[in-house]
Amino acid sequence: MVESIEIRTRIGGENIARDQVRAWEARRAGSVLKKFAARLGTRAMAELMPARTVGDVSGAPLDVQRAALTTLKIELGHAAIYAMLKRDLAISERMARIGVATSRGSTKHSVTRLEVPHYSAERFAAWFNDLTATNAEAEMVDASPDHYLLRGLPDGRQEVVETTGGSPTASRFLVDYTRTEALTIPVDPDYPIQIAGLAVLDDGLVIGGVRHQFRDRDGTLEALLTVQFPGNLPARLIHQHEWHLAGEFSNWMIAAAPVAATS
């Protein structure tokens, strides 16, 4: 696939080729598709995808797989997503509560850096913020195979149901972009555009958060993307979420190119 913009990725101090990010995403797409097939069964999958089989989608290019998964999730609807992931969400919430309690305030961060030449940081940030404000569910879900449900709530918070990094189960939480008091992710003064908020459970327990920082530098968007987790989370899951960040934000930047690209 020829993409509309150039995206440079850096994870853990190493430059990562775009093909590597797409290969990671393709593995996740295959895993999510298998989960749908196993949880819903042949009859339900045929009802939801009457024109193609699971095998057809599994053997298709990544972008076709992502589009098929997005359609599948939107057509299922929120209630069916909750039902399909009922056990996952119960387990992940219990583990999140244990993780916060046993971490005793310590945190870890997943950090990914992206650069996009001939692209506006300000325009992209405005486009990204508008996704939640306008409740553009399809665009939010489509950014990653691991996104099951992303939507803006009436109170301004964002509901997220996703597989975080390399976790074996999907999780559900809310992102409150009006609160940052519990974030341990430092503000970099060289990045004037900040998108930050706390990740909380329904009862308000803070389980993490995000601070995504952007700047324009010599005509290039530079993004410093960071997610905060409880400090006892295994290093492997922290690292895998760096790949998750690379995949989802690359796809969002491609989607925003019509308004954010400068040439």
CA torsion through residues 190, 221, 21, 38, sign: positive
Q: What is the DSSP letter of 52?
A: -
Q: What is the pLDDT of residue 51?
A: 86
Q: CA–CA separation, 172 vs 71, rounded Å?
A: 20
Helices (H), 104-234: 121-133, 137-142
Q: What is the pLDDT along the chain (263 residues), one digit of tens a residue?
A: 678 899 999 999 999 999 999 999 999 999 999 999 999 999 999 999 988 889 899 999 999 999 999 999 999 999 999 999 999 999 999 999 999 999 999 999 999 999 999 999 999 999 999 998 899 999 999 999 999 999 999 999 999 999 998 799 999 999 999 999 999 999 999 999 999 999 999 999 999 999 999 999 999 999 999 999 999 999 999 999 999 999 999 999 999 999 999 98
Amino acid, single-letter form, for residue 13: G
Token output for 33:
């598709």
Q: What is the pLDDT of residue 165?
A: 81
Q: What is the pLDDT of residue 1?
A: 61
Q: What is the pLDDT of residue 78?
A: 97
Q: Whole-structure pTM over 0.75, yes or no?
A: yes
Q: CA–CA separation, 81 vs 168, rounded Å?
A: 17
Q: What is the DSSP letter of 261?
A: B
Domains of the chain: 86-260 (3.30.530.20)
Q: What is the pLDDT of residue 154?
A: 92
Token output for 115:
């650069």
